[in-house]
Structure 1
Amino acid sequence: MESLRLIEQWPVTNAAAAVVRQDGTVAGSHGPTGQRFRLASVTKPLTAYAALVAYEEGVFELDDPAGPEGSTVRHLLAHASGLAFDEDRVTAPPGTRRLYSNAGFDVLGEHLAKAAGIPFAEYLRQAVLEPLGMTATGLSGAGSPAATGLSGAGSPAADGVSTVDDLVRFAAELQAPRLLHPSTVATATSVVFPGLKGVLPGYGHQNPNDWGLGYEIRAAKSPHWTGALSSPATFGHFGQSGTFLWVDPVAGAACVALTDRDFGEWAVPLWPRFTDAVLTELR
């Protein structure tokens, strides 16, 4: 796909991108797709998928208590537990605000590990990464691809390391689930606790700030990191390390882009322009 070459114009040292269709075929790729990059918050969709596998396996129920008083697994996945952004501190009653929370996903990982009886990183590997053939993906204890390898005890919120090649496999799974029942994925990628206001990191207050179970829902948010041509049903995540993964069910395709430069003002105009070019080429 010619549109993927736009990453050559990004002010980054290394970037890779790929598009995978709903039927699992790769429509195109560009750059070092086998290179490992820090995922930052693109770790969360992987963590969420592991949690949903745990739910289907009966490890816990989505409405089991987890996190602050009154909060459940569902609240943690949907950033509605009331926990603060990066600390285990309650800032609102559960279910009243969309408070994006790394702390909430760390609590989720701890809850899953306790319920399953194995470390979260190992559950993630067994439940998601190994079945999908994502051999270059894992949690790094120091948030660096070169730090502790791929078996460390990193944060379920932000310490993932992966490649475009691996994330293409995951993006294909999101579109045609094999590890989960399609109805579970449909629930996870639909709005949970509708109408909640909140801040979308990097893009300010959104009303509503729609979210599913671990997946941000594009809806009518503005500004946004996807494109003007992205359907409201688009879901996915972006990461502070300059990474993103989106799935547009209307377009019947998903896109992954990984870079080695932290998200910032450089990405605000370039990412939507890139996404619109990809969607135009897919038509």
Structure 2
Amino acid sequence: MRTRALVAALLAALLPSAGACATAPCGTSPAAASAPATPSAQPSPVAPSPPPVNDLLVLLDRWYDNLVAMRHIPGMAIVVLRGPEVLWRREAGFADLASGRAVSPSTRFYAGSVTKLVTAVAALQLRDAGRLELDAPVTRYLPDFTVAGGDASRVTVRMLLTHRSGLRREGADPYWMTYDFPSWRTLAAELAAAPLDAPPGTRTAYSNVGMAVLGQVIAAAADEPYADYVATHVLAPLGMTASGVGGGDAALAGLATPYSREQRHLHGARRALAAGDPRALSPAFGLVTTAADLARFARFLLGADPGGSSVLAPDSVAEMMAPQDAGPVWTEARGLGFELEKVKGYLRASHNGWFSGHRAQIALVPELGLGAVVLANADDAPVADVAGRVLDDLIDADTLARLAPASALAPPDRDLAALVGLYGAAWLPERDVVLLSDGLWQYTPTTSASLPVRHGLARLLPMGGDRFHVGSADGQIIRFARDADGCGARIVLQDGAVWLERRPARP
């Protein structure tokens, strides 16, 4: 436990705030870090950051932009939190390919099943107010709720939260094929005609219709429609003013165009999809939000929002992240809304989301105060891998072991910074050149979201005259050719027989 406490203290004291990375000149490499998600907010004071973590953020910038471009993801936004602060934020690509509208912090996305966490917060909020009992039967709040076989009275509110109700995953209508989602009356009639898949409380099986039932329970306990209750008692107090639950014109305003991919392979053409209205299934996957708003929700769940306790008591938030159906030794479990796992010795609470061509992920490491939210407008975007990769690299044992005493960073070497950028040729793998605290490095961009960000890095060892060994003193020799402005224009190989041209920054 002392080791974990030391790790947490090191992270709190030494990880940099957003904007700590240096930018490269020549107008071709992206800015290293973006502004905080709330531009008007004053950043909290932080200690100067040690080079290894600044280096990681520089690499994350390049890795993220290359990943979006090479996987042909239309647009993706990420916010990484360290407690109340935005540690790193990035937007890449387009909210709409046809118009060229770029993804921004205010771009709205469907969060899909991340909505289930909002629904869980609403349920626990009502529980804490004495208006809802988790272990009470659903029929206490919905007297007309029935299932074929007469088992409805054995289904409890907690079972809906933990996916142990025995209810089937979906309703009888083929709404995933037609995107014509049912009303509650229609869905309730379908459930009444269908037997449970398992006796209540005996099996964990993911259920969207279970969350739809929970939404109706919340509405009955609160005596107001689910969407109105969530908007007033969860979203508004957290400052999630660009968010809402459900469909309609208001939900579609500013929404990123959703895309699928023809033929389901990496280079298949993108196809725009129609946005859907989840109607009765809104408590399961109907949240529309922005990266900035979802980061506010994550900050609240990390206990880093000063006003968060007015929405839900800290003990109740912790209850959401406590395993509900696991023994004393576990690696994966379910909380109240959350999916739980142990990664690198720490609890990770997360949830993935998909709806109408959009993907979403929220992942938290509460012990370290770290969180990541990712939103994308492609139904094949690897948002869970992206969030997990970033968090893994931030808590990687090697990174933490190399944390040095805090010290002010030296300004970047402008002469070397002029060589930073992406270089490539039609038949050769691209090389991305980055400037870290100890000099220039190169790596080959990849479509993988699961490999460590440092995978494939090779240091460029200076030989003089813009010539470098790659990786070691006996490694390949490369030479940079500069343009009239002194910026890198080519990487020259094999004594000039082969070269890679500098390419524009990723859009």
TM range (shorter): 0.7 to 0.9
Which residue in 1 is equivalent to 2:64? 7
Q: How far, CA to CA, are the matches of 1:208 and 1:152 in structure 2? A: 33
Deviation at 1:4, TM superposition (A): 5.2
Q: 1:147 to 1:95 in 2, by over 3 A?
A: farther
Residue 55 of structure 1, CA deviation: 1.0
Instruction: State which of 69, 75, 84 in structure 1 corresponds to 2:168.
Output: 84
**1:55 paired to 2:124:** no
Q: Secondary structure at the match of 2:201?
A: coil
Determine the structure 1 residue equivalent to 2:174: none
**Match of residue 392 from structure 2:** 276
1:156 match: secondary structure: helix
**Are positions 1:158 and 2:285 aligned together?**
yes
> What runs of 5+ residues in structure 2 fail to find an aligned partner?
1-56, 92-103, 139-144, 146-151, 172-190, 256-276, 401-507
Could you list the per-position Cα deviations for residues 173-221 of structure 1 after superposition, in whole angstroms to 9, with x for gaps in the alignment? 10114222221111111111225xxxxxxxxxxx9851011111124xx
Query: Unaligned 5+ residue runs, structure 1?
Result: 196-206, 220-227
Asked whether the 8 Å contact 1:142–1:159 carries over to 2, the reply is no
Q: Deviations over 1:216-264 (max 9, x none)?
A: 1124xxxxxxxx64x4511020112321001112332110010011147
**Structure 1, residues 100-158: CA drift from partner, whole Å, max 9, x if none?**
01000000001110121100001101111010010011113269942799x99561101
Matches within 5 A, 1:7-86: 7-8=64-65, 9-10=67-68, 11=71, 12-22=73-83, 24-31=84-91, 32-66=104-138, 68-86=152-170
CA distance in 1: counterparts of 2:385 and 2:120, whole angstroms: 28
Say which one has the larger Rg.
2
In the alignment, which of 108, 113, 116 is matched to residue 219 of structure 2? 113
The amino acid across from 1:211 in the alignment is R
* Superposed CA RMSD: 2.9
Distance 1:96 1:148, change over 3 A: farther
The alpha-carbon distance between structure 1 residues 5 and 174, as it changes in their structure 2 partners (threshold 3 A), is farther
Aligned equivalent of 1:124, options 230, 233, 244: 230
| Percent sequence identity over aligned pairs | 34
Q: Indicate the residue corresponding to 1:223 in structure 2.
A: none
Q: Does 1:194 align with 2:326?
A: yes
Query: Could you say what secondary structure the match of 1:180 adopts?
Result: coil
Q: 2:295 aligns with which of 155, 168, 175?
A: 168
Greater strand proportion = 2
3-state secondary structure, aligned to 2:168: coil
Following the alignment from structure 1 to structure 2, what is the Cα–Cα distance between the partners of residues 192 and 50? 18
Contact between 1:140 and 1:148, CA under 8 Å: does it hold in 2?
Answer: no
Report how far residue 94 of structure 1 moved: 1.5
Given that residues 17 and 257 in structure 1 are in contact (C-alpha distance below 8 angstroms), is that contact kept between their aligned partners in structure 2? yes
Distance change (3 Å), C-alpha of 1:27 and 1:270 = closer
1:252–1:65: structure 2 CA closer, same or farther, 3 Å change rule? same
1:233 maps onto 2:339 in alignment: no
Q: TM-score, normalised by structure 1?
A: 0.82
Say if 1:17 and 1:33, in contact at 8 Å, map to a contact too.
no
Cα distance change on mapping 1:152 and 1:130 into 2, 3 Å: farther
Moved more, 178-187 or 132-141: 178-187
- Aligned 8 A contact 1:86 1:103 in 2: yes
Instruction: Quote the residue 1:255 is aligned against.
Output: 372
Cα distance in 1 for partners of 2:346, 2:201 equals 23
Paired position in structure 1 for 2:338: 215
Partner in structure 1 of residue 244 of structure 2:
138
SS in 1 for 2:153: coil
Aligned residue for 2:80, secondary structure, equals strand
Whether contact under 8 Å (1:80, 1:96) holds in the other structure is: yes
Query: Which of the numbers 342, 355, 363 marks the counterpart of 1:246?
Result: 363
Query: Could you say which residue in structure 1 is the equivalent of 2:272?
Result: none
Of 67-76 and 30-39, more deviation after overlay is shown by 67-76
Q: Distance in 1 between matches of 2:251 and 2:375?
A: 13
Q: Distance in 2 between matches of 1:34 and 1:47?
A: 23
8 Å contact kept, 1:37–1:145: no
Residue 371 of structure 2 aligns to a residue whose secondary structure is: strand
Amino acid at match of 1:256: V
Letter in 1 for 2:243: T
SS of equivalent residue, structure 1 residue 50: helix
Residue 288 of structure 2: SS of its match in structure 1?
strand
Aligned residues: 260
